[in-house]
Amino acid sequence: MFLLISLLALTCASCKRAVETEFPPTEQMDGELPFTKICRLKNYPEMVGAISRLSFLDPEHFIIVSNAASQVLIFNKKGEQVRFIGNKGRGEFEFLSPDLVRVHDDRIFIWCNQLLKLIIFAHDGNPLNEIFFQRAIKDFVVWENLMCIYTSAATGEVGPMLKIYDMNLETFVGQGFGEVTNEHQILTSHHCAGGLALFNHYVYFSPIDRPKVYRINLKNFSKTYFQITDPDFVLEKVATPAHEFAPNPLVAIPYVFGSDIAEDLYAFNNYIVLMASVGDMKFEGMTLVDYSARRQVLYFLNHDLQPKRKIMSLPLKFTNACLLDTSQDGLYAIKFDPVLTTYGLYRLNLPGN
């Protein structure tokens, strides 16, 4: 334990900036990102509620979460329901609102914000353990015994962006990583924003208010980062402290939902992908009146954080950053079909990818 804490204390000394190179010219797409339909999700034996999260269990199976319906369901790539995980309630191994789900090795981790607890299941649905916390979190990933937590600045916590919790020692270790700016704190109330991803023993994360990607080596806690310089990503600075700015909806709502933001990070075999939304969104008071200039941006970096590709498209319809996840062969999305009134699993199909 002493060695672990000592390594974390030396984080700044072992921090370095990734070699900066330019992205190739932006690839402009006329429409949305091209997704190919893999399957339609079947509504039996369980009627599927409004889906709020997607996470892959293995290359052939994925997990969907319905926060509103308190559902955690495993599907295969034929769209068939394999099993449900957990039950609604306040008792042991139960949840009221399954907000987040992650998979590591042979375990499924479900976070419930209402009960402030992490519930751990085996792949077959058998409960293994539960851990209670003092604060809400925004996101998390797990590697071995370490839970890497993307903190929720909306709770008033203005410490590090990423904190490491040792599930064996049942305590936080070190001082954490990432500076929380005033703008990041304001924008953290945006549900699907900020990025966190795991690949092998590296955790990657990004702030909401700037296109910057950090990489932490979870074996020795060394840190590397890459700051993306992009004229398409522009964010207005806010002089008013977050705790004074946020309670004023006339200014807070247009800022939170109209600003350029980093939405999420995705990690798979070839790339780390940062998804962002950029471009003007016009509001009249608290009402959105024009989003025709809004664009989706994908920044592709290799695992050493060297820029490889930038793609700009129209915003995604019938899905959001929370409904995307990676498997070994690429990036997937859950999208709603308004004609069939059902959900489907889709795979991103980009030329040269």
Q: 144-187, pLDDT tens digit by residue? A: 999 999 998 765 566 799 999 999 999 999 889 998 999 999 99
pLDDT at 315 over 80: yes
Report DSSP state, residue 190: S
DSSP, collapsed to helix, strand or coil, labels residue 87 as strand
Q: How far is CA 42 from its chain centroid?
A: 26
45 preceded by cis ω (within 30°)? yes
Q: What is the pTM of this model?
A: 0.91
CB atoms within 10 A of CB 341: 8
- Tell me the C-alpha distance between 332 and 60, whole Å: 12
- Compute the average pLDDT of residues 123-136: 95
Pick the CATH number of 2-348 from 2.130.10.30, 2.120.10.30, 1.10.287.370, 3.30.70.2740: 2.120.10.30
Helix H, strand E, coil C: the string for 44-56 is CCCCCCCCCEEEE
Query: What pLDDT is attached to residue 341?
Result: 87
- Compute the average pLDDT of residues 325-334: 92
**pLDDT tens figures, 68-97:** 889 999 999 999 999 999 999 999 999 998
Which H or E run includes 250? Answer: helix 249-258
Report DSSP state, residue 235: -
DSSP 276-310: EEES--EEETTEEEE-TT-EEEEEEE-TT--EEEE
pLDDT at 251 over 50: yes
Query: What pLDDT is attached to residue 11?
Result: 43
- Compute the average pLDDT of residues 212-223: 95
- Compute the average pLDDT of residues 182-193: 88
pLDDT at 124 over 50: yes
Query: What pLDDT is attached to residue 273?
Result: 95
What residues contact residue 220 under an 8 Å CB cut-off, 6+ apart? 7, 14
- Compute the average pLDDT of residues 106-134: 96
Query: What pLDDT is attached to residue 231?
Result: 94
Supply 325's token pair. 């996840």
- Compute the average pLDDT of residues 20-24: 76
Residues of the chain by 3-state class (helix, strand, coil), percent to 5: 10, 45, 45
**pLDDT tens figures, 262-284:** 999 999 888 999 999 999 989 99
Judge whether 304 and 327 are in contact, CB under 8 Å.
Answer: no
**pLDDT tens figures, 25-34:** 999 999 999 9
Average pLDDT, the chain: 90
Residue spans of the domains in the chain: they are: 2-348
- Compute the average pLDDT of residues 314-336: 91
pLDDT at 43 over 80: yes
Q: Which amino acid is at 254?
A: P
